[in-house]
A and B are shown apart, each in its own frame.
Chain A
């Protein structure tokens, strides 16, 4: 057993990077990520973490420093948020193409303009095509555990893909709550050193980042797609190993909550899941048959598990904490697209909410269940509940 301490979600990331014995950290400060890296810098300065801390002038440089270190075999970590993640965008593709198992903590923060320091998922949703594994967390314990697990599944020989572990700004990043911090020796026994394969080494000829024509580029991208497919099994196996040693699990890819006999299920991500559990309990007490499904791993997208949801309820709603100008929000798109190819066709609804730190309160979430239960196929498929409109009575 580790030690129970009260820490913020940000410090949970810092402890995970320290326990994972990262070799190289490079990051650039941005609210609300800054304390993650400040804490890591303290660990390094105090000799508690034997790592190289590379100070850089931007997030783009931070990820590049990590990629270069990763290319020669280092275990690397970085963290960012919002505008910083956007600035890294081209290098996110590099990381996956280079097959660098960088682990990155992202504090989900809305994107400008207008400037916002509060939470929504736009920043990481906008990176879903880059080839990174993406996991969304609902508690500080989950942030710490998932970051530790990320080093393991990202570095597996059959995966070798970068991974981002996300936490909602302020609701997790700056919220102090009890977290069990594993002991170093326990983590050492579970997390192996990064395998030294597919790296550049002194004394061996090697070139990284070659040129490739139309005759072979597609085949190369296919190998990355295969790696992401292999990540499915890798993630589940890693979680099983973690659970058997540390006795904790956070739901795998999709975690249904009280969906037995449900008339309606709401799919949620991040801290909205945590609040929605309270709403489900209170509605169930009133005799309403509702459930929720925590969508935890967004990449690789859990198509199989999402299709199983269609077997649990006839009405499925998705709470999108971002908007991508597609056919609804990004989570809805992927859920709806997955279900379109499946055997069952539940009624689907998309709820855009919680943008820019707008609080997702129990009444707002309850309203989503109401809308889901009331609809009969007509009415808007995509709605923005809790939008402040100058309508009568609103």
Chain B
């Protein structure tokens, strides 16, 4: 979705309202490391999903966690909290 850039007083909407939903503003560019989930160790305990501060972990059809790379900021909390230690943090290319 292309947004009209705001530059002038006349562009300011009548209040601090934005009409671009947050799910169109990705934060992938914040990352320098990304979580890699090693599914052979994953017990599907859901702790990584629970702790992710950006709601950037979703589930596949079998209930295994999937990282939403458009929104993951690479904070490493999921790896830190993972109970069976199935997540490692690796450098972005």
* Chain A contacts to B: CB under 8 angstroms: 97-99, 160, 197-198, 200, 205-210, 212, 215-216, 219-220, 222-223
Contact = CB atoms under 8 A, between A and B. Distances in A.
A207 B20 contact: yes
A158 B13 CA distance: 13
Contact of A160 (B7, B8, B11, B15): B15
B9 A210 contact: no
Contact of B18 (A160, A206, A222): A206
A72 to B, nearest CB: 12
B19 A205 contact: yes
Given A207-B21, A207-B22, A99 B8 contact: no
B45 to A, nearest CB: 33
B12 A160 contact: no
Interface string B4-36: 001111011111111111100000000000000
A97 B21 contact: no
Given A207-B22, A219-B8, A219-B9, A198 B17 contact: yes
A219 B6 CA distance: 10
The size bracket of the interface on B is 10 to 19
B19 A209 contact: no
Chain B binding surface, main DSSP class: loop
Given A216-B6, A222-B9, A98 B22 contact: no
Nearest to A223: B12
Given A216-B6, A220-B12, 6 more contacts: A99-B14, A99-B16, A160-B14, A208-B15, A210-B16, A219-B8
Contacts of B12: 216, 219-220, 222-223
Contacts of B15: 98-99, 160, 198, 208
A220 B16 contact: yes
A200 B8 CA distance: 24
A200 B16 CA distance: 11
Contacts of A215: 7
A198 B12 CA distance: 12
Contacts of A223: 9, 12, 14
Contact of A208 (B11, B14, B17): B17
A99 B15 CA distance: 6
A98 B12 CA distance: 13
A208 B9 contact: no
A206 B20 CA distance: 7
